[in-house]
Protein backbone atom coordinates (compact mmCIF):
# COMPACT_ATOMS: atom_id res chain seq x y z
CA UNK A 1 0.00 0.00 0.00
CA UNK A 2 1.24 3.50 -0.68
CA UNK A 3 1.26 6.61 1.49
CA UNK A 4 -1.78 8.85 1.25
CA UNK A 5 -1.36 12.62 1.19
CA UNK A 6 -4.01 14.25 3.30
CA UNK A 7 -5.35 17.78 3.24
CA UNK A 8 -8.47 19.48 4.60
CA UNK A 9 -10.41 18.46 1.48
CA UNK A 10 -9.92 14.70 1.84
CA UNK A 11 -9.36 14.43 5.62
CA UNK A 12 -12.89 13.37 6.52
CA UNK A 13 -13.17 10.69 3.83
CA UNK A 14 -9.61 9.34 4.11
CA UNK A 15 -9.10 9.55 7.87
CA UNK A 16 -12.28 10.03 9.89
CA UNK A 17 -14.37 7.60 7.81
CA UNK A 18 -11.59 5.06 7.21
CA UNK A 19 -12.35 1.46 8.13
CA UNK A 20 -8.62 0.93 8.72
CA UNK A 21 -6.30 2.07 11.48
CA UNK A 22 -4.77 5.35 10.26
CA UNK A 23 -1.21 6.45 11.03
CA UNK A 24 -0.92 10.20 10.46
CA UNK A 25 2.50 11.75 9.99
CA UNK A 26 2.51 15.51 10.55
CA UNK A 27 5.64 16.75 8.77
CA UNK A 28 7.29 19.59 6.84
CA UNK A 29 9.62 19.48 3.85
CA UNK A 30 12.34 21.34 5.76
CA UNK A 31 12.25 19.05 8.83
CA UNK A 32 15.32 16.78 9.19
CA UNK A 33 13.76 14.24 11.58
CA UNK A 34 10.70 14.09 9.30
CA UNK A 35 12.96 13.13 6.40
CA UNK A 36 14.67 10.52 8.58
CA UNK A 37 11.42 8.62 9.28
CA UNK A 38 9.97 8.96 5.77
CA UNK A 39 11.57 5.71 4.46
CA UNK A 40 10.38 3.87 7.58
CA UNK A 41 6.82 5.04 6.99
CA UNK A 42 7.08 3.90 3.36
CA UNK A 43 8.12 0.44 4.62
CA UNK A 44 5.26 0.31 7.11
CA UNK A 45 2.79 1.26 4.38
CA UNK A 46 4.16 -1.39 2.01
CA UNK A 47 4.29 -4.18 4.59
CA UNK A 48 1.03 -3.62 6.51
CA UNK A 49 -2.15 -3.60 4.43
CA UNK A 50 -4.28 -3.09 7.56
CA UNK A 51 -2.60 0.26 8.33
CA UNK A 52 -3.39 3.35 6.26
CA UNK A 53 -0.30 5.57 6.40
CA UNK A 54 -1.05 9.23 5.72
CA UNK A 55 1.09 12.37 5.60
CA UNK A 56 -0.04 15.90 6.42
CA UNK A 57 2.28 18.78 5.53
CA UNK A 58 1.87 21.29 8.37
CA UNK A 59 2.99 24.18 6.14
CA UNK A 60 0.45 23.38 3.42
CA UNK A 61 -2.39 22.55 5.80
CA UNK A 62 -2.06 24.63 8.97
CA UNK A 63 -5.77 24.15 9.79
CA UNK A 64 -5.30 20.41 10.31
CA UNK A 65 -2.12 21.05 12.29
CA UNK A 66 -4.07 23.40 14.57
CA UNK A 67 -6.91 20.91 14.90
CA UNK A 68 -4.43 18.33 16.24
CA UNK A 69 -2.58 20.96 18.32
CA UNK A 70 0.71 20.24 16.54
CA UNK A 71 3.47 22.25 18.21
CA UNK A 72 6.45 20.17 17.07
CA UNK A 73 7.16 17.71 14.27
CA UNK A 74 7.31 14.95 13.32
CA UNK A 75 4.14 14.07 15.18
CA UNK A 76 2.69 10.60 14.62
CA UNK A 77 -1.00 10.19 15.45
CA UNK A 78 -2.80 6.85 15.34
CA UNK A 79 -6.55 6.97 14.71
CA UNK A 80 -9.14 4.23 14.77
CA UNK A 81 -12.83 4.75 14.03
CA UNK A 82 -12.23 8.51 13.76
CA UNK A 83 -10.71 8.76 17.25
CA UNK A 84 -7.11 9.32 18.40
CA UNK A 85 -5.86 6.17 20.10
CA UNK A 86 -2.14 6.94 20.36
CA UNK A 87 0.48 9.51 19.41
CA UNK A 88 4.21 10.07 19.59
CA UNK A 89 6.43 13.08 19.04
CA UNK A 90 9.76 12.88 17.26
CA UNK A 91 11.58 10.43 15.02
CA UNK A 92 11.31 6.81 16.15
CA UNK A 93 12.55 3.45 14.89
CA UNK A 94 10.19 1.20 12.98
CA UNK A 95 9.46 -1.16 15.88
CA UNK A 96 8.56 1.78 18.15
CA UNK A 97 6.18 3.16 15.50
CA UNK A 98 4.53 -0.23 15.05
CA UNK A 99 4.00 -0.51 18.83
CA UNK A 100 1.77 2.59 18.59
CA UNK A 101 -0.69 0.66 16.39
CA UNK A 102 -3.47 -1.24 18.22
CB 102 within 8 A of CB 77: no
What Rg value do the Cα atoms of the chain yield, rounded? 12
- Is 54 a residue of the active site? no
Distance CA 6, CA 33 (A): 20
Rounded alpha-carbon distances, angstroms, from residue 44 to 22, 40, 69, 77, 101: 12, 6, 25, 14, 11
| Annotated active-site residue in 6, 15, 31, 64 | 31
| Annotated active-site residue in 34, 54, 56, 73 | 34
Catalytic amino acids?
A: 31, 34
Amino acid sequence: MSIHHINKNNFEAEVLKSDQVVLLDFFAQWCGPCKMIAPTLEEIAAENAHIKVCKIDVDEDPDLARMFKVTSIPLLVVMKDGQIVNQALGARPKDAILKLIP
